[in-house]
Chains A and B, each alone.
Chain A
Amino acid sequence: GEDVEQSLFLSVREGDSSVINCTYTDSSSTYLYWYKQEPGAGLQLLTYIFSNMDMKQDQRLTVLLNKKDKHLSLRIADTQTGDSAIYFCAESETGGRRALTFGSGTRLQVQP
């Protein structure tokens, strides 16, 4: 079955760039997503990338996809304390139910 892996923790200083990495196993995934979860809240969709793209940029967020290595990354430029949260990558199934398979989440801590 599908498996998505992430490192558990990342600490950066305010103003630096953060890079959160993810590896996945389902090469047939059509879309890959990044979600953000703040304490006590649900998941907020940050961005997604189509599997035939290598890169997508959206303001401070840059998503890189290496399909050959099944590696996805999220770069946050000029990281702020408000970016402190748990970040999940997810891949969508190609079957009918289109459920998401999530990684374990990366806790990003931004130090002032």
Chain B
Amino acid sequence: EADIYQTPRYLVIGTGKKITLECSQTMGHDKMYWYQQDPGMELHLIHYSYGVNSTEKGDLSSESTVSRIRTEHFPLTLESARPSHTSQYLCASSDRSTTEEQYFGPGTRLTVT
């Protein structure tokens, strides 16, 4: 079983607030990812990281930012939440194995009112 955690699991917050979604993994994986899952189920990559101090934007434009100061942590921050940010956010990590399968956290369901 994968050891990757996300907090909070559910968050309801008002417009304009700053929020940070936490993601941590205890597997020592170098690569970490953030996906945004639409209500219609599709997942889209919004951020990824190869390792400490490495962050890149994904395919879907996002107003969020990420940081990777430690291998285990990959937090996502929204400086000013808006209703359009309402979505499910999934964090994942992978190692350097040949198959590079990704392990997912349970997700954070964010609702901005």
Chain A interface (Cβ < 8 Å from any Cβ of B): 1, 31, 33, 35, 40-45, 48, 50, 86, 88, 92, 96-100, 102-105, 107
Contacts and interface: CB of A to CB of B under 8 A. Distances in A.
Contacts of A105: 41-42
Contact of B48 (A50, A97, A107): A97
Interface string B16-48: 000000000000000101010000111101001
A101 to B, nearest CB: 8
A33 B102 CA distance: 10
Given A86-B41, A99-B58, A105-B41, A48 B101 contact: yes
Interface of B: 6, 31, 33, 35, 40-43, 45, 48, 50, 56, 58-59, 90, 92, 94, 99-107, 109
- In the complex, the 3 A-B pairs of residues with the closest C-beta atoms, listed nearest first: A42-B104, A105-B41, A43-B104
A45 B90 contact: no
30 contacts: A33-B101, A41-B106, A41-B107, A42-B104, A42-B105, A42-B107, A43-B43, A43-B90, A43-B104, A44-B104, A45-B102, A45-B103, A45-B104, A48-B99, A48-B101, A50-B99, A86-B41, A88-B43, A96-B50, A97-B31, A97-B48, A97-B50, A97-B56, A98-B94, A99-B33, A99-B45, A99-B59, A100-B43, A100-B45, A103-B42
